[in-house]
Amino acid sequence: MSVLVIDVGTTGLRAAVVAPDGTIDHLNYEKCSPMSPFPGLVEFDALAMRDAILRVARMSLAQAGKVDAIGITTQRASTVVWDARTGIPIGPALSWQDLRTVGECITAKIEHGLTLAPNQTATKASWMLKNYAIPAGAEIKIGTVDTWVASVLSGGALHVTDHSNAAVTGLLDPLTQTWSTRSLSLMGIDESMLPQVVTSGGVVGHATELDSAPPIAGIVGDQQGSLIGQGCIVPGKTKITFGTGGMLDIFTGAAAPQSAQRSTGGTFPIIAYSDAHSVNWGAEAIMLSAGTNIDWLCTDMQLIDTPHESHEVAAQCNTTDGVVYVPALLGLGTPRWDYGARGSLFGMTRGTNRSHIVRAVLEGIAHRGTDLMEAAEIDSGLAITSVRIDGGMSKNPTFVQALANASQRNIEVSPVTEATTLGAAFLAGVATGTWKSLSEAVSTWIPAQVVTPTAALDRGQWTQAVNRAAGWIPELSALDF
């Protein structure tokens, strides 16, 4: 028995088959990058995405043969609006990165007391309905990428999303787990346009566009998929995905939070996953730029040729010799949420060289990862004794050691870079009998290595550096979502 997973990220998508022992095989990938027609605007072609999804899924099935179920895991909050009669979008889909609705978010808070962020679905869908030409007689459907994938695989028969994706749209009532009539009214969205909210694990229909029409049995947001995929289904268990940005998620259990708003420590409540028995919760902390800083070293600063070289160059020195880098190229997320903070280098002398700066960048990202851990402990009330990590930076030995040293915690490195695929597979496989329970499924996860602290990075000096980098652009620092 095996599970085919469709995993749609921000810049590419993949299909892969997960076996009962948790191994991943028959992986096929296609680049599917968004477009930026103007600074701050980020769009993508949902039809091109549709075609790529079907291509990679069919290739994996051709290689693997029949599968027992399909799992879907995707980037969250990116929004597609289409005409159900034709299956054609009414305009470009908007990425979660798109910032064109900042003004609408500010207005919603000032005039209505409704806290929304531009990376959520709510204002994106509202903007699309107001600004795209809607065909006469159109049967408008709105969905996040998971909804679009389910529709594509089912030939338009399914219009669904799961709790983990719905909860980050800005349109779900967190207490009832149903669409919020107040939010819909303020955004000018008819509930009939929105998908049915279903459990993360459970059969919702069949992928009739694929051979043998396997059941679609698991749907989960990418970060929650990574949380499950790394076995973090016990309160206090925590993962961080270090990709373009950094996302910490901690599992908190079945008790619902009192509020859906950002907490004191700067984290947000999330639905980790749901099944036929319960809705399970977590908290999320966000680093706005992680791997982006390594790309900056390569492309803009040209201090290194490839991201992998950051490890090799940083390893040429044992310490930064007092140099501190604050990775705030896009501002600071958790815990400060300062969009006007900017990336900063402190402590340079005439003796500072390339290796010091590269190491300082890796250590700065490690310090930010530790900031996320500390914030999650404050907001959840749970102790984080160790952290599991995935994402591209999890393969960088110098960075992983710096994270252990900054946090003074053991770091468990995922055996696969993208644990999101495993999470979607585990949910779908439990629903269809590949595993008897989610606990049995996640027991197949074994870390590739465990990295322990060997020294301590100076957190006091780090705090001084962050204080100096904060508020660099006051107008942006004043924004609060």
The correct answer on CATH 3.30.420.40 for the domain covering 231-413+448-481 is yes
How far are the Cα atoms of 116, 143, 154, 165, 248 from residue 79, in angstroms, in the given order?
15, 6, 19, 11, 23
Domain map (residue ranges) of the chain: 3-223, 231-413+448-481
Confidence of residue 480 (pLDDT cuts 50, 70, 90): confident
Q: What is the pLDDT of residue 116?
A: 94
> What's the CA angle centered on 153, arms 149 and 158, to 5 degrees?
80
Give 137-194 pLDDT, tens digit per residue: 999 999 999 999 999 999 999 999 999 999 999 999 877 889 999 999 999 999 999 9
pLDDT in tens, 246-258: 999 999 999 988 7
Alpha-carbon gap, residue 462 to 332, rounded angstroms: 14
CATH number of the domain at 3-223, please?
3.30.420.40
pTM for this prediction: 0.96
Q: What is the mean pLDDT of residues 108-114?
A: 94
Q: What pLDDT is recorded for position 481?
A: 83
pLDDT of residue 81: 98
- Of residues 227, 232, 244, 84, the one with CA closest to residue 164: 227
